[in-house]
Structure 1
Amino acid sequence: MEILSRLPVKSIVRFGCVSKLWSTLTRHQSFINLFASRSSSGQPRLLVTFSTCYKKYGISFPQHQNPDGSYPPFYSFQIKTFSALPHPSEHPSQDCECYLGYDPLEGKHKVLCIVDKEYSEELQVLTLGAQESWRVITKGIPMHFPTGGLGRCFNGILYYEARLLGDDKNIIMSFDVRSESLVR
């Protein structure tokens, strides 16, 4: 595991195809944690995903230059399996805006979803990888409506653009992924 954790992601993905044992090893939580701790000390990368013709793809771009001015390589890959999340409300036809956040202290990804109810907005959270269902967030929620922009998560805080009820100005909402609370 120590040797594999020092390899680039593309090589690790390839090694996962060697055998069931290697596939299991590279997907084991302790290996993922070890790899994440090593790669988090490196420079940040931008991950872009998109779909075409019923196939899903990902591209990982470096966000820095090498000392000689060149850029490190970018990696592209096809996403073979893709898990669909359960719909956050009991009525799948309701509109909602969803954002992905990550808590680096607990190592958990969470999805924040703002469901458009008839006269109000309802916030729901789902922890990925857990055997949990959507949880409704009720504490300290100002009445707001997401503007449909992209959310960004930095150091466990998810930021997204919204508009408060009765106000025509856009604001940045902040959602603490760990405590599952909103701050303005």
Structure 2
Amino acid sequence: MTESTSSSSLPIELTTAILLKLPAESVVRSRYVSKHWSSITTDTYFTNTFETRSSARPSLLMFFKNKDKVFVFSFPQHDKNTKPHSYSYHVDSYHMKYPTGCNFSVSESVHGLICFRKLANPVIWNPSTRQFLTLTKPIEEFRYGLIVFLGYDPIEGKHKVVCMPASEASDECRVLTLGSAEKSWRTVKTNYKHRAYYRSSGRCINGVLYYNASYLDEDSDIFVVMSFDVRTEKFDMIRFPFEDFWGNLITYKGRLACLDSTNLMENDDGVTMWILMDAEQSQWSCKHFLTPFTRRLKKVYKIYCVTDAGEFIYVIRTFLKSFVILYFDPERNSLRRVEFKGIADEDFRFKNGLGNKRLCTLFSFPNHVETLMSL
């Protein structure tokens, strides 16, 4: 009996149920087993069901680069009600080559995909299928480089790449829809002549992309948040709570929020956060949370991101023998310590030729979901 005949002898419902339990990389490999399995795993019902289940159990994706490789780790993003409050896990990892010259700037995981930049070319990465896709340059007129953002429309299930010129104000951008028949970049007017901040991490929340920018108002630059509706491709401008305000954009319990950069200094006793309550009226609500982090601890751990449950994730800045993540729930004022095995130990370093040096420059992506989208 051939492999194809054997796989076809199983009821399609049972085969589907089994394949849905596999990680994304295994599902992609299973497509080469037989035409039958390939038809199942590429069917719209299967891919939608897989991504729905993956969304219910998001993970914390992290990686660091060394020479021409990226080392990728996916951690269980535990529920904040998990007990005990200090525990350890073994974690699987993988490494792969990445496009040379790729700039791993601040970004986020948007429905399973991550967007970077290679010189003037946007790069899309699917960590689940281990694929990189280098896109064509959007336009030659972006003289000083470009800034790239990635958005996702949950209604139509489409990813869109948005490119803005770097270091100069503009009233237009370039947009490309991934997976569409139209492969060329489109010009979209932004309604507001503004300059996107090159270190801004765009945040896509419920089909709206947000990013930091500056806007010329009566001969003076003011900091603002620009919003881009991924489906309608309409731009809008959101004012900060007060002028000269600046901070890091995050997602907090399904809303856009901003961490006050002046309150992240080492001598501060907590975190000040502004939550966007009404985008049309530019209304923000302020919250200040005390944290248990001393000045010494803040030198060791850095706040990287926030989970969907509202926990701040503190990651060790450099690590040598162990890798620890701290989850801080500001509303409960509780702290969870999680140590992950298999990252910094001698066996990992020996197998990957990393020696006995400290590892650093970690990139963190909370609320990551696996997607079967092929690049």
Scaled by the length of structure 2, the TM-score of the pair is 0.41
The Cα shift of 1:44 comes to 3.3
Number of the residue aligned with 1:76: 93
Number of the residue aligned with 2:360: none
Distance 1:170 1:87, change over 3 A: same
> 1-side partners of 2:191 and 2:143: how far apart?
23
Q: Structure with the greater relative contact order (CA < 8 A, sep ≥ 6): 1 or 2? A: 2
1:13 aligns with 2:13: no
> 1-side partners of 2:92 and 2:40: how far apart?
18
Return the letter of the residue paired with 1:164: Y
Return the letter of the residue paired with 2:140: E
The count of corresponding residues between Structure 1 and Structure 2 is: 179
Number of the residue aligned with 2:202: 151
Distance 1:104 1:172, change over 3 A: same
> 1-side partners of 2:66 and 2:136: how far apart?
23
Match among 208, 215, 223 for residue 170 of structure 1? 223
Number of the residue aligned with 1:33: 48
Distance 1:131 1:183, change over 3 A: same
The Cα shift of 1:176 comes to 0.9
> 1-side partners of 2:174 and 2:43: how far apart?
26
Counterpart contact for 1:141–1:182, Cα < 8 Å? yes
Once the two structures are superposed, the pairs formed by residues 10-159 of structure 1 within 5 Å of their partners are: 12-14=24-26, 16-17=28-29, 20-21=32-33, 24=38, 28=42, 30=44, 31-40=46-55, 42-48=56-62, 51-65=65-79, 67-69=82-84, 76-79=93-96, 80-91=130-141, 94-116=144-166, 120-132=170-182, 133-138=184-189, 141-148=191-198, 149-159=200-210
The Cα shift of 1:74 comes to 5.6
The Cα shift of 1:116 comes to 4.7
Return the letter of the residue paired with 1:170: F
Alignment partner of 1:169: what SS?
Answer: strand
Counterpart contact for 1:6–1:38, Cα < 8 Å? no
Distance 1:182 1:119, change over 3 A: closer
Number of the residue aligned with 2:317: none
Distance 1:45 1:169, change over 3 A: farther
> 2-side partners of 1:121 and 1:71: how far apart?
50
Scaled by the length of structure 1, the TM-score of the pair is 0.77
The Cα shift of 1:183 comes to 1.6
Structure 1: stretches of 5+ with no match in the other structure: none
Question: Aligned residues: percent identity?
Answer: 38
Structure 2: stretches of 5+ with no match in the other structure: 1-15, 97-129, 238-375
| Larger CA deviation: 110-119 vs 30-39 | 110-119
Return the letter of the residue paired with 1:176: D
1:179 aligns with 2:235: no
Return the letter of the residue paired with 2:226: M
What is the RMSD of the two structures over their aligned residues, measured on CA atoms?
A: 3.1
Counterpart contact for 2:161–2:178, Cα < 8 Å? yes
Q: Which has the higher strand share?
A: 2
> 2-side partners of 1:24 and 1:93: how far apart?
44
Distance 1:158 1:119, change over 3 A: closer
